[in-house]
Structure 1
Amino acid sequence: MSPLKSRVTALAAAVVGAALTTTALAPAADASERPLPTRVVTAEGPVQGAVTGAVRTFQGIPYAAPPTGERRWKKPAAVRPWSATLDARAPRSACAQPTDQPISIAGGGSEDCLYLNVTTPAGRSARPRPVIVWIHGGSFAYGDGASYGAAKLAAARQGAVVVTVDYRLGVFGFLTAPGLRAPANLGLLDQQAALRWVARNAAAFGGDPGNVTLMGQSGGGYSVCAQLVSPGARGLFHKAIVQSAGCVGPDGSFTRAQAEDQGEAVVAAALGDGTEDVDSRLRALPTADLVEASASGHDGYRPVVDGEVVPEAPAEAIAAGRFARVPVLHGSTRDEMSGLAGMDELMTGRPLTAEGYAEKVTNQFGADAPAVLAEYPVERYPAPGAALSAVLTDSEWSTAALDTQRALARHTSVYAYEFAEASAPYFRGVPRPASFSLGTGHMTDLAYLFENELFEPLDGAQEELSDTAIGYWSRFASTGRMNGPGLPAWRRFTDDGRYVQRLASGDIGRTDFAAGHHYAFWKRLASS
């Protein structure tokens, strides 16, 4: 991600709360039928889950061998089968990660982390259910799958088997460094191993292995972009949902040279200036030492264009039509950068001034600043912070979103959306700026789709929007289309029609996304 995108993600990290959000469940489609068993026999061995309300959950199921000891920095290997029933009633460890930001998982995780979690409706179905595989975000360095409760998504009208995945992060999943004899993109290879697990085992949980939707947000969304162009993922998923990630944009990948520059700094921090025996010395270091030496924050790791896992930059491949042409649901939030725009006010206790706004725009856009300030005059906005939010959102996120939708739509079916709540649930226990509304910022759309302890609870109107959004998402996972009983009409996005659905409480329908985000202006500026 660009530094600006990274900083808004960092802000989200800095405001994470710690209490569990409770979300009402929609009734399972087959709740009146005999419940499904909580003991399931997978291809690798039996697992014991639990029933909670309308769903069954199975947590901490290994999908690949632990990448520890001699297997550090090696491709994921098959897990050893078991015969005794595996207790799958609690999640296992998250993947090792820095603990420098509140978005980090408590305790920092472990290298033994290749586990997944399955949530299904508790009732039986006459037909196999669609499968949704969730790839969490966190800039390829933070986060886990278990934090995203999927009860409401699984128990929606369509019903779904939802799989949330942990994959190697940061120094263990995306390090490319001179002297380290290791494949690139191990985190992406882990995701593919999880998809192969789904192909083997979806049916055991009532899912259809021939109807798999790969879904991710932010870093997880960029992962989906990479998997769309990765030969190793072909045939493993049949639809894609990409949230807050511009596949056709500047942030989706590193060249090998860029990755090695980042990796060289990690090696120097871990080993000093010596360049001999880098591979063996790195492999001998304890987990904690490698994490301490790793590039933390939000700019250190990306999928790497290695010619194999990622044969070319996703932005180039998708623009040229060289990707898996599956139906795609793609979108963003209206106010992706509002958190960053409000940061000064939260830190200083004083709202951004008009002069401060002009200074920030000048620092960011240089010689183009006068044009930007003319396009976004401060007097048109409720406060200078709101003007800055609009500038940063439109330049960093919205333009890439529309470029991505246009590129995809030339080759496959695309539905486009914008979460546009006037005031979405924010991070628990964190004050908001007083001078302007944060609207729907980066990551806060997830409060409508998952049960997640990060966010404030939904109010009544927001619960209704959540029900509608989950209805759309599950409909897409089931059929590849958005329209269904009880759902407001949603047309496909085409390069000429450019239909984008606005998702807001009491206000669902078409929005002029290009005009609302000054798309023509930013394209002219880029070409000048």
Structure 2
Amino acid sequence: MTTHGRRTSVAALMCALATTHCAGSGDSTPSNDEASPELVRTDAGPVRGAIHDEHRLFQGIPYAAPPVGPLRWRAPEPAAPWTEPRDATRPGSPCPQAPTAYSPIGSVDEDCLTLDVTTPRSVDPERLRPVMVWLHGGGEATGAGSVFDARRLAVGGDVVVVTINFRLGIFGFFGYPGLDGSGTFGLQDQQAALRWVQRNIAAFGGDPGNVTLFGESWGAFAASAQLTSPDAAGLFHRVALQSGFALADYPAGTFYPGLPALPPFWSPAAEVQATGEALASEQGWVEPASETDVALERLRGAPVDELLPHTARFVMPAFGGAVLPESPAEALRAGRFHRVPVLSGATQDEGRLFVALFYELAGASVTEQRYRELLAEAFGEAAEQVEARYPIDAYGSPALAWAAVITDRVWWRATHEQSLSLAAHTPVYAFEFADRDAPAAVPAPEGFPLGAHHASDVVYLLDFVGEPSGLAPEQQRLSQQMIACWSQFARAGDPSRPDLPPWPQFRGDDAQYVQSLAPGDGGIRNVDVVAEHQLDFWSTL
């Protein structure tokens, strides 16, 4: 199997009255109406959202044309304009995806390039608010911006929040010889959404000159890509990265048993194109030796349900083209990225979620013998050194010891390196989410505490639609503090506020210290993550 095959296994004046259609006005300038705050005019047409006690919500707004038929696997095109107020009280469809053990969403609808806007209820045309654009996680094969409820962040932080749906998997990152933009269509969707924000967000009370791009997991990974994309220049002014992995590589067995060692999740365009060509031939979608135009026409006609089973082979952006001229990993290390302030961090126990899902809950429990086997598979002759640093007795079980190895070697080694690379050129504020009693993202296996696991920080900023956060009183206080920090960062490029514990910039001789975020008095404080996650040890292997 090729390296790429191994890697892929795994966003005019408004009509004065709501009944007015604005047809024939001749003015398409996006605008807001103080008398009718539920009605906003975008550059494509007016939208009518919903007004709640403390916030306004506009859902399912098209930021690009549906990428269907001849527009499949093309750069996003402008949405068709409309004249009558468009209902914006329901979310748009998630992009095509199959349900998984960690995401119940299923969709076969390619008409999915929509976004939602959440704002505080008050409208002040003289004071535009900071804008925060959310990129969801999900391994680039699952998820949707529309499943996130941003009211707490918008109201508590006094910001405008935009959540977006973008093409995923085989629909977002497919490649084929001669296909312009191979492996980057999902990234291009995100850029189209950011351009929509530049053109329209002032009508919703947001400041297009103060946009923060933030994301978690694959969303943070994508935000790192946008940091290095020439086409994204000027589209955002700060970036917040939560549990991203732009610089991570993966020892064998990192995510699930039998997975070989993997390099960083960036693919040369030629590899993505070769994978697409081989798949098209295997499935009989394309006749042998077909001309490129003929082959692409046939591929664009393939049914969604025939393509979806192969989506996991296309979950990594391709570099070597206009969108990503070089691997973002190399660009970030070399300092070739947009100079914007960055908030960057990870959770204290990142790896526990993966060990819980793909080992303990999957019937492949990590026993003492299996722990040593995993260390040997991952680290070869250095396995004994790793075991000496991560003895089972120190963690309470072989599974927790293996989770600690994954956390430190994969997530924290890469997170710290990325923060160092960024901090050499731009202000960085680093953090560790450390609430080990955070609500669980999956059922906790017996005797296996999930701790501050991967994605456990999300509900401290955003809710899932229809689901309570499950936060206890002290955790609610931490959530309010984190919302204050993230929104202050969006407002000023620095998360520090007089009413919160000081948050020093990550730099110089103190680059091993990051802000720990945990509940309770003294829960927000500086900690030495180099010592906590044994990064000096990992730098020697």
- Tell me the TM-score normalized by structure 1: 0.88
Deviation at 1:449, TM superposition (A): 1.0
Structure 2 counterpart of 1:281: 298
Q: 1:255 to 1:6 in 2, by over 3 A?
A: closer
Asked whether the 8 Å contact 2:347–2:432 carries over to 1, the reply is yes
Deviation at 1:188, TM superposition (A): 0.7
Q: 1:102 to 1:249 in 2, by over 3 A?
A: closer
Q: 1:462 to 1:36 in 2, by over 3 A?
A: farther
Deviation at 1:491, TM superposition (A): 0.6
Asked whether the 8 Å contact 1:222–1:252 carries over to 2, the reply is no
Greater CA drift, 227-236 or 71-80 = 71-80
Asked whether the 8 Å contact 1:245–1:332 carries over to 2, the reply is yes
Report the Cα distance in structure 1 between the residues aligned to 2:461 and 2:111, rounded to whole angstroms: 28
Q: 1:254 to 1:351 in 2, by over 3 A?
A: closer
Residue among 284, 306, 309 paired with 2:323: 309
Output aligned runs, 1:141-156, within 5 Å: 141-156=141-156
Report the Cα distance in structure 2 between the residues aligned to 1:220 and 1:422, rounded to whole angstroms: 23
Deviation at 1:199, TM superposition (A): 0.4
Asked whether the 8 Å contact 1:97–1:104 carries over to 2, the reply is no
Q: 1:259 to 1:326 in 2, by over 3 A?
A: same
Structure 1 counterpart of 2:13: none
Asked whether the 8 Å contact 1:35–1:124 carries over to 2, the reply is no
Structure 1 counterpart of 2:224: 225
Unaligned segments of structure 1, at least 5 residues: 11-33
- Aligned pair 1:346/2:345, yes or no? no
Asked whether the 8 Å contact 2:360–2:366 carries over to 1, the reply is yes
Q: 1:165 to 1:418 in 2, by over 3 A?
A: same
Structure 2 counterpart of 1:91: 91
Deviation at 1:365, TM superposition (A): 1.8
Structure 1 counterpart of 2:378: 364
Structure 1 counterpart of 2:20: none
Deviation at 1:355, TM superposition (A): 2.4
Structure 1 counterpart of 2:452: 440
Deviation at 1:187, TM superposition (A): 0.8
Q: 1:6 to 1:420 in 2, by over 3 A?
A: farther
Output aligned runs, 1:170-181, within 5 Å: 170-178=169-177, 180=179
Structure 1 counterpart of 2:188: 189
Structure 2 counterpart of 1:389: 403
Structure 1 counterpart of 2:238: 239
Asked whether the 8 Å contact 1:357–1:388 carries over to 2, the reply is yes
- Aligned pair 1:493/2:493, yes or no? no
Deviation at 1:219, TM superposition (A): 1.1
Report the Cα distance in structure 2 between the residues aligned to 1:495 and 1:183, rounded to whole angstroms: 40
Residue among 322, 325, 335 paired with 2:339: 325
Q: 1:164 to 1:78 in 2, by over 3 A?
A: same
Asked whether the 8 Å contact 2:238–2:342 carries over to 1, the reply is yes
Deviation at 1:456, TM superposition (A): 5.8
Residue among 481, 484, 489 paired with 1:468: 481
Report the Cα distance in structure 1 between the residues aligned to 2:181 and 2:493, rounded to whole angstroms: 37
Deviation at 1:179, TM superposition (A): 6.0
Structure 2 counterpart of 1:69: 69
Asked whether the 8 Å contact 1:175–1:263 carries over to 2, the reply is yes
Q: 1:291 to 1:377 in 2, by over 3 A?
A: same
Asked whether the 8 Å contact 1:339–1:442 carries over to 2, the reply is yes
- Aligned pair 1:270/2:293, yes or no? no
Structure 1 counterpart of 2:128: 128
Report the Cα distance in structure 2 between the residues aligned to 1:65 and 1:523, rounded to whole angstroms: 47
Report the Cα distance in structure 1 between the residues aligned to 2:7 and 2:209, rounded to whole angstroms: 35
Report the Cα distance in structure 2 between the residues aligned to 1:443 and 1:245, rounded to whole angstroms: 11
Greater CA drift, 108-117 or 267-276 = 267-276
Asked whether the 8 Å contact 1:464–1:505 carries over to 2, the reply is yes
- Tell me the TM-score normalized by structure 2: 0.86
**CA RMSD, Structure 1 to Structure 2 (Å):** 2.4
Q: 1:481 to 1:35 in 2, by over 3 A?
A: farther
Deviation at 1:263, TM superposition (A): 2.3
Percent identical among aligned pairs is: 43
Q: 1:269 to 1:2 in 2, by over 3 A?
A: closer
Deviation at 1:359, TM superposition (A): 1.9
Greater CA drift, 255-264 or 231-240 = 255-264
**Bigger RCO of structures 1 and 2 (CA < 8 A, at least 6 apart):** 1
- Aligned pair 1:103/2:103, yes or no? yes
Q: 1:98 to 1:351 in 2, by over 3 A?
A: closer
Q: 1:366 to 1:456 in 2, by over 3 A?
A: farther
Structure 1 counterpart of 2:259: none
Offset from partner CA, 1:288-307 (integer Å, 9 cap, x none): 22223x233xx632111023
- Aligned pair 1:414/2:422, yes or no? no
Asked whether the 8 Å contact 1:40–1:46 carries over to 2, the reply is yes
Report the Cα distance in structure 1 between the residues aligned to 2:194 and 2:460, rounded to whole angstroms: 25
Deviation at 1:247, TM superposition (A): 2.9
Report the Cα distance in structure 2 between the residues aligned to 1:83 and 1:272, rounded to whole angstroms: 40
Structure 2 counterpart of 1:27: none
Q: 1:183 to 1:356 in 2, by over 3 A?
A: closer
Q: 1:132 to 1:491 in 2, by over 3 A?
A: same
- Aligned pair 1:449/2:449, yes or no? no
Asked whether the 8 Å contact 1:76–1:189 carries over to 2, the reply is yes
Offset from partner CA, 1:39-67 (integer Å, 9 cap, x none): 11111111000012311000000011111
Q: 1:335 to 1:6 in 2, by over 3 A?
A: farther
Deviation at 1:396, TM superposition (A): 1.0
Asked whether the 8 Å contact 2:286–2:299 carries over to 1, the reply is no
Asked whether the 8 Å contact 1:46–1:83 carries over to 2, the reply is yes
Offset from partner CA, 1:399-437 (integer Å, 9 cap, x none): 00000000000000000001111221013xx53123232
- Aligned pair 1:480/2:479, yes or no? no
Q: 1:485 to 1:345 in 2, by over 3 A?
A: same
Unaligned segments of structure 2, at least 5 residues: 11-33, 250-263
Q: 1:4 to 1:444 in 2, by over 3 A?
A: farther
